[in-house]
Structure 1
Amino acid sequence: MKPVTVCFGEILWDIFPNGVRKPGGAPFNVAYHLSRLGMDSYIISRTGDDEAGEALRQILRQWQIPEETVQPDPQQPTGAVLATAGENHEMHYDILKPVAWDFIAWQPEQEALIRRAGAFVFGSLAIRSEVSRSTLWKLLDAAPYKVLDINIRPPHSDMNVIRELLRRVDLVKMNEEELQLVLQATGDTFGSPVDGARKVMQHYGVPQLIITRGSKGALYVDKQTQYERPAKQVTVKDTVGSGDSFLAGFLSQLLKGRPVPAALDLAVEVSGFVTTCEGANPEYDSSRFDV
C-alpha cells in the first residue's frame, strides 16, 4: 500500500505578463510531487465552474490525482495570480480574491480520508477566508500528523491565525524570511537559523521544523537533533515551486520510515532538480531518484 497524503488549500493559475498561464498554488505543487514520488496523493480544494477550473481538473487527471475532493463552485471563479514585472525585472503577484478556494466547504467524507492519511499538508494562505479556515479547523482535529507550510503573502496573511496554527501542528516548513517574520510577531530576533528555529519551537511547542535557505541549503531541527544540508550545485532556470518540491521529497521518505537525514537528502535532490526546470511541476517519475 502506498502511504496516503492529503493536501489542503489553493489550486490556481499563475498568469504571466505574456499571457502564459501555469498551474500553481503551494498545496497543488506539493500534491503533484508527492504523487510523482510514490505517494497516494489527494488534494482538498475548490475551483470555479468555468473553463479555468475544468483545465485544472484535466491536469489532475493527467497527474492521476483524484479530482473528487476538489469541489466545484457555481458562483466564484477559479483562483488566479496575476504576475507583473516591476523594476529590475522583479515580479509582483496579485493573488485575486475572492475566488473558489476561499470557499472550501467541510464535507463528512473528508474526515475519513484525513484519518487514514500519513500526513495532512496545508499552507497558511488558505486561511485568509473564513469559510476555508473553518473547514481547516475541523480537518485538523481529525489529522494524525499535521504539516504546516508557511507562505506569508501580505495582505493575505494574518499573523494571529498563523501563530494559532503553529501551536497545533507536528511539522512546520518555512524559509528564512518567514522565520524572521514569525519571530518578529513574538517580539523576538535570532542570531542564526538554528537559534531562530529553537526559539520558534520553544515558544509554540513545534516538534519539528524545517528552514529552507535557498542557495544555502536547508536546516531540520527537532527537540533532540539538528541536521543541515547544502543546496545542490545546479544551473538554475527558475526557483518556482522549489520549496514545495522540497517538502514533498522530505515527506515521501519520512512516511516510508526512512530516517530524517535520508529524507533531507532526497528533498535536496528533488528541489535541486526542479530549479533546473521551467515551472513548479516538471514531468518526471520516481525512478529518477532513489526512493
Structure 2
Amino acid sequence: MKPVTVCFGEILWDVFPNGVRKPGGAPFNVAYHLSRLGMDSHIISRTGADEAGEALRKILRQWQVPEDMLQLDTQQPTGTVQATQGANHEMHYDILKPVAWDFIAWQPEQEALVRRSGAFVFGSLAIRSEVSRQTLWKLLDVAPYKVLDINIRPPHSDMNTIRELLRRVDLVKMNEEELQLVLHATGDTFDTPEEGARIVMQRYGVPQLIITRGSKGAVYVDGHGQFGRPAKQVTVKDTVGSGDSFLAAFLSQILKGRPVPAALDLAVEVSGFVTTCEGANPEYDGSRFDV
C-alpha cells in the first residue's frame, strides 16, 4: 500500500513574465511531487467554475491525482499569481485576492481522508481567509502527522496566526528569510540556521524543523540532533517550486520508514533537478531518482 498524503490549500496558475502560465500553489506542487515519488497523493482545494479551473482539473487527471476533494466555486475565480524574476533567479509573486481557494469549505469526507493519512501538508498562505482557515483548524484536530510549509508572502501573512500554527504541528519547513521573520517577530536573534531552528523549536514546541538555504543546501533539526546537506551544483533556470519538491521528496522517504539522512539526500537531488526546469512541476518519473 502506498502511504496516503493530503495537501491542503491554494491551487492556481503562475503566470510568468513571458505570458506562459504554469500550474502552481505550494500545496498543489507538493501533491504533484508526492504522486511522482510514489505516494497516494490527494489535495483539498477549490477552483472557480471557469476555464482556468477546468484546465487545472484536467492536469490533476493527467497526473492521476484524485480531484474528488477539489471543490467548485461558482462565485469566485480560480487563483492566479503574477510572477516576476529578480536578482539571483529569485521569483517574486503578486497573489490575487479573493479567489476560489480562499473559500475551501469543510466537508465530512475530508476528515475521513485526513485521519488515515501519513502526512497532512499545508501552508500558511491559505489562512489569509476566514473560510479556509476555519476548515484548516478542523482538519488539524484529526491529522495524525501535521506538516507546515511556511510561505510568508506579505501582505497575505498574519504572524500571530503563523505562531499559532507552529504550536500545532509535527514538522515545519521554512527558508532562511522566513526563519528570520518568524524570530524577528518575537525579538529573537541567531547566528546560524541551526541556532535559529532550535529557538523556534523551544519557543513553539516544534518537534522537527527543516531550513532550506537555496544554493547553500538545507538543514534538518530535531530533539536528537541535526543533519545538513549541500545543494546540488546545477545550472539554475528558475527556483519556482524547488522548496515544494524538496518537502515532497523528504516526506516520501520518511513515510517509507527511511532515515533522515537518506530523506535529505533525495530532497536535495529532486529540488536541484526542479531548478533546472521552468516552472514548479516539470514532467518526470520518480524512478529517475531510484525511489
Q: TM-score with structure 2 length normalisation?
A: 0.97
Residue in structure 2 matched with residue 173 of structure 1 by the alignment: 173
Conserved? CA contact 2:89–2:237, under 8 Å = no
SS in 2 for 1:142: coil
Residue in structure 1 matched with residue 14 of structure 2 by the alignment: 14
How far residue 17 of structure 1 moved from its aligned partner, in angstroms, is 3.1
Quote the Cα distance in structure 2 between the aligned partners of 1:85 and 1:290. 32
Describe the shift of the 1:175–1:91 C-alpha distance in structure 2 as closer, same or farther (beyond 3 A).
closer
Conserved? CA contact 2:246–2:270, under 8 Å = yes
Q: Residues 124-273 of structure 1 correspond to what in structure 2 (within 5 A)?
A: 124-273=124-273
Quote the Cα distance in structure 2 between the aligned partners of 1:34 and 1:92. 25
- RMSD over aligned Cα, in angstroms? 1.4
Q: Does 1:275 align with 2:279?
A: no
Conserved? CA contact 2:3–2:40, under 8 Å = yes
Q: 1:160-207 CA distances to partner (integer Å, 9 max, x unpaired)?
A: 000000000000000000000000111111111110000000000000
Residue in structure 2 matched with residue 28 of structure 1 by the alignment: 28
Q: Does 1:49 align with 2:49?
A: yes
Describe the shift of the 1:269–1:87 C-alpha distance in structure 2 as closer, same or farther (beyond 3 A).
closer
Describe the shift of the 1:221–1:104 C-alpha distance in structure 2 as closer, same or farther (beyond 3 A).
same
Conserved? CA contact 2:24–2:280, under 8 Å = yes
Quote the Cα distance in structure 1 between the aligned partners of 2:175 and 2:25. 17
Quote the Cα distance in structure 2 between the aligned partners of 1:144 and 1:60. 25
One-letter identity of the residue aligned with 1:236 = V
Quote the Cα distance in structure 1 between the aligned partners of 2:83 and 2:212. 24
Residue in structure 2 matched with residue 37 of structure 1 by the alignment: 37
Describe the shift of the 1:89–1:110 C-alpha distance in structure 2 as closer, same or farther (beyond 3 A).
closer
How far residue 16 of structure 1 moved from its aligned partner, in angstroms, is 2.2
SS in 2 for 1:239: coil
Quote the Cα distance in structure 1 between the aligned partners of 2:89 and 2:265. 33
Q: Structure 2, unaligned stretches of length 5 or more? A: none
Q: 1:3-25 CA distances to partner (integer Å, 9 max, x unpaired)?
A: 00000000000112332111110
Conserved? CA contact 2:211–2:218, under 8 Å = yes
Residue in structure 1 matched with residue 3 of structure 2 by the alignment: 3
Quote the Cα distance in structure 2 between the aligned partners of 1:257 and 1:177. 30
Describe the shift of the 1:242–1:88 C-alpha distance in structure 2 as closer, same or farther (beyond 3 A).
closer
Quote the Cα distance in structure 2 between the aligned partners of 1:207 and 1:215. 26
Between the two proteins, the alignment pairs up a number of residues equal to 291
Quote the Cα distance in structure 2 between the aligned partners of 1:247 and 1:87. 24
Residue in structure 1 matched with residue 109 of structure 2 by the alignment: 109
Quote the Cα distance in structure 1 between the aligned partners of 2:108 and 2:258. 32
Quote the Cα distance in structure 2 between the aligned partners of 1:256 and 1:54. 33
